[in-house]
Amino acid sequence: MTLGLAQAMESLGGARQPSGGARLATERDLRKAGLLNGRPGYSVFLGRFNGKDVRYSGASHIYVNGPTRSVKGVGFVLPNAVEWRGALIGLDIKREMWDEIGAARAALGQDVFMFSPGSAHSHCWNPLDLVSPWPERATDVANIAHSLIPLPQSGDPYWAETARGLFAGLLAYVLDAREPPIEGRTIKAALKIFSRGRPLVAEMANILANEPRLNAFVQDKFRQHISREEKQRQSFESHIVTALEPWNNSLVDAATSRSDFNIAELRRRPFTILIGTPVGNFAAVEAVVRLLVQQVHDVLLRNLPGLDEPHKLLLMLDEFFQFGRMPEIVDRAPLVAGYGFQIAVIAQGLTQLDVRYGKPTRDMLIGNMDVKLLIGVGDETTARYCADELGKHYVRREGWGTSVGAGFGGSQGRATRTTQGRWELEPLMTSEAMRRLDATKAVLLVRGEYGAVVDKAHFFKEVRFKRLVEAARGFAHRIAIPDVTDAGGGEIETFAPGAPGGFKHLVAKDRVMREAHALYLDASAFEAAFVRAMTEAGNGATADLLNVLRMEPAQLGELRATRKGIFAQAPSPEAATAALRREVYSARRLLNDERAQLAPTIGAAATPRATAAVATVPIASPGPILEPAIGNSAASSDSGLPESPARRIDDDILARLNDLKGQSDITADVVKSAATRAARDDAAKLGALVDALSVQAELFMDTPTPGDLAALTAAVEAETVEQ
């Protein structure tokens, strides 16, 4: 019987195959789905099909499943780490990524950082460096508190929630304190408030009495805690102290006391962060690592990527189970795809996620990931899930029977054999078949497409990856992990006077440029001026920039036209200019504050003039910068000036210096003039005084007139002549 006749008979017998069954994807299916045309470095490598790369170029997240020894590291993690051209954050507890692809990341032009809290060698990250000014500060410190003080999985959450609010208030105080804490503006400084030798409520009362200008958020949090009953206070305080236990480790404190990288720059200027805490230490610092991952989300979710942020971030959370519960990450997974970063959750099996989150939350997390790559399956739960996702196909079942009809004249007829068929649904691949899958194969599931069986890659065996590693060997000298116990390690030297920039103004740059884009049609000229001002050791260039913004902002670019009407939301040029000036002023203050904290470290290498400038750069609130009594001997001694009456500076000169509003470049001319009549050491001391005046005044708000400068110079010269 021919095939066509058989099909016709089946059709007539009602045995035609039903439509809608599943099948494995073909090469044509993968090409149609856009999985065979991805660009290396700009798409996620998943495996190969018929010798062709299978890559995902979409924005959705990816789940990678593979038990121990299933080569998920060499099949997925390392291949993507070596070629991904955007920013990269990955868990590297074995230091395998650092050793194998660190140089390759540097060869891409990226800085490569190893964050390993609890280890003697680590780059550093201070989560408080990323906290915004008021009013957003309240939200940022609350996010940090939420990460470090998790809610209990059972029981009353009231105690933990209230402790979060108290801790947020303490963090805000550390950032706003009139004098930077000895520990710096760090989480450890918040912990140290509990060990100052008296109860926390007494410490809070003292702070409120001595610093009445603290933000209302801080004052309210402190007063709320003071008004509670003692037993309640002890419970809330114990929650915080327990949550901050990692910061009792001096190595954790050191690794979070400054920042070598800026999370806010990940989409603008991509770099690589590898989290390399050894697995034996992970439990002790899990909260620190979890806070880093959460802050990446918090910072990048503040704004959609701008035109100057073209790069994507790949966040590879290998051994996802090790991070503990991260409900914020799970809840935000559906939202972050449009913000320029992808998450690759890598786990040994769905059972791990069930243990950590429960099945409903696991289903929600995995359901929001369009791509699932099962490199290996080691548990029945995952095997059944994969079998269900692959679907079922129709299989024809046939049955045979023999019937005997009546013959001629009532005699027994001839026996005939009949065949009957039916179509039944069966799993395309059973859970048993999933667990016995060839070790060189992986199952790929993409939403809306047929499942595929792809070939695994092997990073250490394939020539292409070997060549990438070998070609980057010459860049190995560009990556190094500093000694975290060395106060001069990391990037501290970049904060020295005259060195390019520093970290804090880079953190603030995102806010500055956001306001600049609101004011200018093209903010490139302003950006160049801002960067130049930040790289100067003194404050003069920043003062000049702020004066231009106050007097003639159009010098730095074409202003945006004012939009009118009830639907107009853009600020007026005047309001936008004022907002921009505030952000520039704040950025310089942040940088000055950082330099002040680092002054003891860099002072030995600085010149006397530079050392004095760095040591005095914290900017006080506007107002009188020196008391008139500074002219007497005691005040002169405190200020570093000689006590000899012949060297005293007249109160009138000090008043004129006050009026100058702190122009560093102009006061430098005054110092030069005074130096013509003074000894070298006295000129240096006068320079220190003038620098102190420069930065403690309301230095950025106005510019002195030439008449002011002439009067001051004449007064100084007259004083030195009289001597």
Map out the domains of the chain as residue ranges: 27-115+259-393+428-455, 130-255, 492-603, 620-722
Model pLDDT, residue 674: 54
Query: What pTM, to 2 d.p., does this model score?
Result: 0.65
Residue 6 has what pLDDT? Answer: 47
Cα–Cα distance, 46 to 373 (Å, whole number): 7
Strands (E), 129-288: 272-275
Give dist(CA 639, CA 199) in Å, integer: 36
Q: Compute φ and ψ for 391, nearest 5 degrees.
A: 95, -170
The residue among 622 and 2 whose pLDDT is bigger is 2
In percent, the amount of the chain with pLDDT more than 70 equals 72
Three-state secondary structure call for residue 392: strand
Quick one: tokens of 92? 């590297």
Q: So what's the pLDDT on residue 598? A: 52
pLDDT in the model for residue 534: 79
Q: What is the DSSP letter of 418?
A: E
Which tokens belong to 279? 């697995």
Encoding tokens for residue 514?
A: 């956001």
> How many other C-beta atoms are found inside a 10 Å radius of the C-beta of residue 395?
12
Cα(85)–Cα(88) distance, integer angstroms: 8
Pair type for strands 112-115 and 272-275:
parallel
Radius of gyration of the CA atoms of the chain, in A = 34
Residue 402's pLDDT band, with cuts at 50, 70 and 90, is: low
Please report, for residues 120, 433, 445, 446, 545, the alpha-carbon distance to residue 393 in angstroms, rounded to integers and kept in the order given: 57, 15, 16, 18, 70
pLDDT digits (tens, 9 = 90+) for 536-578: 777 888 888 888 898 888 888 888 876 554 444 567 888 889 8
> Which pLDDT does position 426 carry in this prediction?
82
For the chain, the farthest-separated pair of C-alpha atoms sits apart, in whole angstroms, at 154
User: Beta strand 112-115 with 341-347: parallel, antiparallel or unpaired?
Assistant: unpaired
For 327, the token pair is 């409900």
Assigned CATH class of 27-115+259-393+428-455: alpha beta
CA 429 from centroid of its chain's CA atoms = 41
Cis amide bond preceding 135, omega within 30: yes
The pLDDT tens digits for 483-515 are 987 654 433 333 222 333 344 445 577 788 888
Three-state SS at 673 = helix
Q: Residue 220 in 3-state DSSP?
A: helix
Q: How far is CA 375 from CA 56, 192, 264, 372, 445, in A?
A: 16, 47, 33, 9, 11
Q: What is the DSSP letter of 76?
A: I
Q: Measured in Å, how far apart are the chain's first and last C-alpha atoms? A: 126
For residue range 411-420, list pLDDT tens digits in order.
Answer: 555 666 666 6
- What sign results for the dihedral spanned by CA atoms 254, 259, 261, 262? positive
Are 618 and 536 in contact by the 8 Å Cβ rule? The answer is no
445-475, pLDDT tens digit by residue?
999 999 999 999 999 999 999 998 988 888 8
Residue 171 banded pLDDT, cuts 50, 70, 90: very high
Angle at 596 between CA 594 and CA 602, to 5 degrees: 95
- 622-631 pLDDT tens trace: 333 233 333 3
